[in-house]
Amino acid sequence: MIPQIYIGLMSGTSMDGVDAVLVDFSDGSPKVLATHDEPIPNGLLTHLHRLADPKVGDINLLGECDRASGELFATAVNNLVEKTNWDREQVIAIGSHGQTVRHMPNLPYPFSLQIGDASTIAVQTQIDTVADFRRKDIALGGQGAPLVPAFHRAMFGSNLKDRVILNIGGIANITWLAKDGTTSGFDTGPGNTLLDLWYSQHHDTNFDRSGLWGATGEVNNNLLTRMLSHPYFAMAAPKSTGRELFNASWLNQHLSHFPAIQPQDVQATLAQLTAQSIALDILTLSETTDIFVCGGGLFNDDIINKLQKLLPKCTIQSTAVIGIEPQWVEAIAFAWLAFCFVNKQSSNLPAVTGAKKAAILGAFYPAI
């Protein structure tokens, strides 16, 4: 069997590093050959956080971060390849998600902007690169997100049982995989992004490991109700969101009404916000489904415990149970998107994104 080797690159809303995976698709399902997590240098991370602020419109900063992120992604690939016995000439293509700095799907001229110059990636790795996966879907009237449900259907779908694939990254999203083949999916709201933001303001590290600090707090139901009253949570799908909405300004606006609240209680309430917004959407689909979780939020025990209490009739497990380690699902998805591009296969789901039709997603950046 001829190997079908691809590399997937993913840097999500949490900006907690670049995930890189080397994957073989030769037997139809992904075989992970190697993985690598490339940290984002502090200087670039500071610039990316600033650039992701919807009030910032610095074109020079955008251009510099685009090039710097491209070099970072190339470094991630080169470090990944060095871990393996595979030659880079055996890699058919890289699929790069890029770093999202704006996602504005509801404007008169909607757009979603991911940086990480793909030409730089291709040149510095000497591997053909596929990137810019969202624009075609948006050009077809879709939201350009979420893109992973098509991958979830291909890899995790079952004709015996309904399933939900839950990704808790910076933003949380769900994919409904009905046993009859019906697929839907959308962003439920904040995942880790507000939790990480609040935690980093009170500690020297960037995230609440295992949700231990949040678990010491008490949920403030008045704050929770106020946050859940935002229209996004009641919107019908297709819908997608990001830091443009759920950011420090949004959180501080709500907290201004609760000046005496303790920091750990805010953390507990944000974990409840993530869990409750997810649960409310899953309950519209099923009260008894199997839920398979991926993304960093799986390792936040406080979120998972809160979610299980809200969904007592559902089973909640890691995607590892059905074949893919949870921390690599999204990076593998972008390797798969590159595979689809090279093999001229459509890779969006109009029922998910709202696009007029299915399409081959991505743009090609040759190494030479």
Q: Residue 236's pLDDT band (boundaries 50, 70, 90)?
A: very high
**Pair 241, 261 in one domain:** yes
Look at the block and give the residue holding tokens 């010491």.
216
In sequence order, which ranges of the chain are alpha helices (DSSP H)? 42-51, 59-82, 118-125, 135-139, 148-156, 193-200, 212-215, 221-228, 248-255, 263-283, 301-310, 329-342, 350-353
Half-sphere exposure of 55 toward its Cβ, with a 13 Å CA cutoff? 4
What was the pLDDT predicted at 96?
98
**Pair 101, 170 in one domain:** no
What was the pLDDT predicted at 197?
95
**Pair 53, 132 in one domain:** yes
What was the pLDDT predicted at 14?
82
Reduced to 3 states (helix: H, G, I; strand: E, B; else coil), residue 91 is strand
**Pair 341, 282 in one domain:** no
The closest of 213, 235, 342 to 281, measured between CA atoms, is: 235
- Report d(CA 256, CA 175) in Å as an integer: 34
Structural domain range at position 255: 148-322
Residue 352 has pLDDT above 90, yes or no: yes
Number of domains making up the chain: 2
What was the pLDDT predicted at 273?
98
Cβ-count burial 199-228 (b if 16+ within 10 Å, e if not): beeeeeeebbeebebbbebebbeebbebbb
Q: Which residue has the higher pLDDT, 293 or 1?
A: 293
Tokens of 336: 């798969």
Residue 13 has pLDDT above 90, yes or no: no
Report the mean per-residue pLDDT for the chain: 96
Quick one: CA torsion of 319, 325, 331, 333, rounded to 10 degrees? -40
Asked whether the beta carbons of 298 and 304 are under 8 A apart, the reply is yes
| CATH code of residue 210 | 3.30.420.40
Phi and psi at residue 294, to the nearest 5°: -135, 175
Tokens of 33: 């050959």
Strand partners, 97: none
**Pair 184, 128 in one domain:** no
Neighbours of 342 (CB within 10 A): 18
**Pair 136, 152 in one domain:** no
Residues constituting the chain: 368
What was the pLDDT predicted at 206?
85
Mean pLDDT of 209-234: 97
pLDDT digits (tens, 9 = 90+) for 55-74: 888 999 999 999 999 999 99
Q: Residue 28's pLDDT band (boundaries 50, 70, 90)?
A: confident
Tokens of 300: 């936040």
Q: 129-131 and 171-177: which strand pairing?
A: unpaired
What was the pLDDT predicted at 56?
86
- Report d(CA 52, CA 65) in Å as an integer: 11
**Pair 176, 305 in one domain:** yes
**Pair 125, 219 in one domain:** no
Quick one: CA torsion of 133, 137, 142, 146, rounded to 10 degrees? -30
pLDDT digits (tens, 9 = 90+) for 264-302: 999 999 999 999 999 999 999 999 999 999 999 999 999
CA angle 231, 236, 238 (to 5 degrees): 115
What was the pLDDT predicted at 191?
97
Strand partners, 166: 174, 293
**Pair 332, 311 in one domain:** no
User: Hey, what amino acid is at 312?
Assistant: P
**Pair 300, 333 in one domain:** no
Asked whether the beta carbons of 282 and 291 are under 8 A apart, the reply is yes
**Pair 298, 353 in one domain:** no
What was the pLDDT predicted at 1?
80
